[in-house]
Amino acid sequence: MYCDYANKVIPSNGSASGSQATDKRLKVICGANVSYLADSEFIGDNTPMTFCEVRVSPSSSVKPNVGASELAEALSRVLPFTATDDDRPILQCVKFIAKEGKLTLVSADGFRLAIVNLDYDDGEGEALINRDDLKGIASALRKANRARVGFEPSGESLDGMSLIIDTELIRYRWVSNSGNFPEYEKLIPTDFNYSAHLDTVEAIKATNSLKALSDGKSYPIDLTIGDGKVVMADPDGKGIAELVADTDGQGKVRLDGQYLAEVLRACGGMVDFSLTNAYSPMLFSSNGYKVVVMPMLTSEANKEAKADREAKGEETTEPETTEPYEVRGESGQVPEPVTPTEQAEPEEAEQGVPLEPEATTEPVAEPKKAKRNRAKRAKQPVTA
């Protein structure tokens, strides 16, 4: 067989039609030409009696159980919402959960919670993988043709698990971190009083325009829903943008502008924005992807919360300050919104962050130890 181009001979793998999909055949690619050779078809009367052994790499026989591009997209949607603070090692991880025909990826940074569900019907398992170990994997998966996700005992402990991702060229294996991830299901709001369906492209443009009015990274934005539009404005009223949207009910909430921009970029396209009130977590959702965001508290939000508590017969306390916003953290860190309650009672600052319940009681490793363990179990590509 002669060809001016390089020849490529591979198993047909059932890619042909009819009997070619079931008979033992080789797929021969020569330039733009594709043909199939049946078993022994290339042997003639004058063919020397020699044998050629074609070994197929085990990686080529990877049986996918998730889409490679879908898994890459899921990773890119949860990684931005992991914590960067070394004092919270568990929130630096992405949680992988396989059960009930779904593979769920979850991340949280204390103020935001991201959840992605993929179809997966290949057993059950769980693993906590540090964000640093997953950097670059999304790009690699986008170049892969096949991907298979699995879980297996790590061998390092009786209950330890490892996450395995196989592609046609490489196998990735990570040992799960130890610790308890927050019970994220309880943090997803389900009852809403207001909602809007809007275009994230236009919303991102408005967010960037309002950022120009700020002197720093952090900038609050007020969102008002109602009358077929979403109004975005800075608290001082120096900049206002109106977006056409499908709305239900009327409400107002304040968000950190940087957080809002990151959520809108992660959602993409059209997004549903649902809100209960000005002080409770809100939900952004798009085609099964969900992001829960904690709002910033204002004096109006505090009054609404107080009125709601009084209506329920609960005890109320008036905050000592009505300052709605403050930047904290070391230089270079992502600034975090601080509630009036946090300013008045610094020893209970985490009470204003409902996206990680009982986080301080989780049995997690010390940051230095976590780093050592992470270095030990660092992502190790194992050629198949």
pLDDT of 136-167, one tens digit each? 999 999 999 899 999 998 766 556 889 999 99
Residue 101: left (phi > 0), alpha (psi -120 to 50), or beta? left
**Lowest model confidence (mean pLDDT) among 119-123, 185-189, 249-253, 367-371:** 367-371
Please give the structure tokens belonging to residue 207: 């967010």
Question: Is there a shared CATH topology between the 68-182+369-383 domain and the 186-354 domain?
Answer: yes
Please give the structure tokens belonging to residue 281: 């977590």
Q: How far apart are CA 327 and CA 290, in angstroms?
A: 26
Residue 314, pLDDT score: 75
Question: What fold is seen in the domain 68-182+369-383?
Answer: DNA Polymerase III; Chain A, domain 2 (3.10.150)
Q: Which of 26-30, 50-54, 203-207, 212-216 has the highest mean pLDDT?
A: 203-207
**Boundaries of every domain in the chain:** 1-48, 68-182+369-383, 186-354
Do residues 89 and 370 touch, judged by C-beta distance below 8 A? yes
Please give the structure tokens belonging to residue 134: 């997953």
Residue 70, pLDDT score: 96
For residue 66, the 8-state DSSP code is B
Question: What fold is seen in the domain 186-354?
Answer: DNA Polymerase III; Chain A, domain 2 (3.10.150)
Cα–Cα–Cα angle for 142, 74, 283, nearest 5°?
150
Q: How many helices (H) and strands (E) does the chain have?
A: 8, 20
pTM comes to 0.69
CA dihedral (247, 253, 259, 263) in degrees, to 10, reads -20
Rounded mean pLDDT of the chain? 77
Q: How far apart are CA 36 and CA 27, in angstroms?
A: 5
pLDDT band of residue 352 (cuts 50, 70, 90) is very low
